[in-house]
Amino acid sequence: MQPRNFKQVDVFTATAYLGNPLAIVLDGSGLSEAQMQQFARWTNLSETTFLLPPSSDAADYRLRIFTPGGELPFAGHPTLGSCHAWLEAGGKPRRDDFILQEGAVGPVRIRRDGAQLAFASPPLQRSAPSPAELARVAGALGLKAGQVIAAQALDNGTAWLGLLVDRPETVLKLSPDHLQLKNLGHKVGVAAAYAGQARGTPDLEVRAFAPPIGVTEDPVTGSLNASLAQWLMADGYMPARYLAAQGTCLGRAGRVRVERDESGQVWVGGASVTCISGTVLL
């Protein structure tokens, strides 16, 4: 084992300890996949990341993302938190307009907007779930059929079953059967729109349940918010720019800023705050 620079960052919040924590090993060179997985299980956070040299001159760095239960090809809050840590540690982007992250899902562009970062959502594949599967998932969540407005199977490198429900109060009152969700094998994101919200207040309430990868409820989830945005904007449920809230039921105050630019690219961003900085023996 050797000392490696390490940070723990809170993502999708400007106030420490109100977002989603992320463990980041700033130099994962020489570590095996098994060692990375073991460390991710030990941190017991929703994700732990390892920064590596890029495999080509195009990217600024390469990123591997692990949950306690396995590796992910893409995830949103690890993308923003790892980029924040990389920049804070002295990383110098090759370009002026964006940072390019290399990962299993392919290259991911990250842009700076003042003190905040935003990633370009990867391409989304989506389809309608079968009525039987949707009924089973709704039952595990404690939802009645009339409360579900729409549902889609979403995959942007990370697969989610997305449910749009009638009211934010329905989202906040959910008490899922996590064992049943785990047995069904679905990570589930549930969202509802607020009506007539004032500027600067959330437009969408989101919760994310991921028992199949060892996370009962994720505080704030970039990949889910990205795929929800691509779906809900395309189908006319949400406007081209909005603010999502997540983590309310866990005592967090996650805020996710979502925007679709003129080219149709959806950007997902927010603030990040470093909470721990030091070394880890790995």
**Tokens 């935003």 — which residue?**
118
Active site annotation includes 47: yes
Answer yes or no: are the C-beta atoms of 203 and 232 closer than 8 Å: no
Catalytic residue among 33, 47, 102, 133: 47
Distance CA 110, CA 226 (A): 13
Helix (H) or strand (E) holding 139: helix 131-141
Distance CA 33, CA 31 (A): 7
Distance CA 279, CA 2 (A): 9
- What length does the chain have? 282
Q: Where are the alpha helices (DSSP H) in 89-177?
A: 131-141, 168-172
DSSP letter, residue 58? S
**Tokens 């704030």 — which residue?**
220
- Please name the residues in contact with 155: beta carbons below 8 A apart, sequence gap of 6 or more: 124, 125, 126, 227
Residue 180 sits at φ, ψ, to 5 deg, of: -65, -40
How do 99-102 and 61-67 pair as beta strands? parallel
Distance CA 213, CA 224 (A): 14
Answer yes or no: are the C-beta atoms of 35 and 42 closer than 8 Å: no
Per-residue tokens: 25: 């090993």
**Tokens 């969408």 — which residue?**
204
Q: Which residues pair with 277 in a beta bridge?
A: 7
- Residues marked active site are found at 47
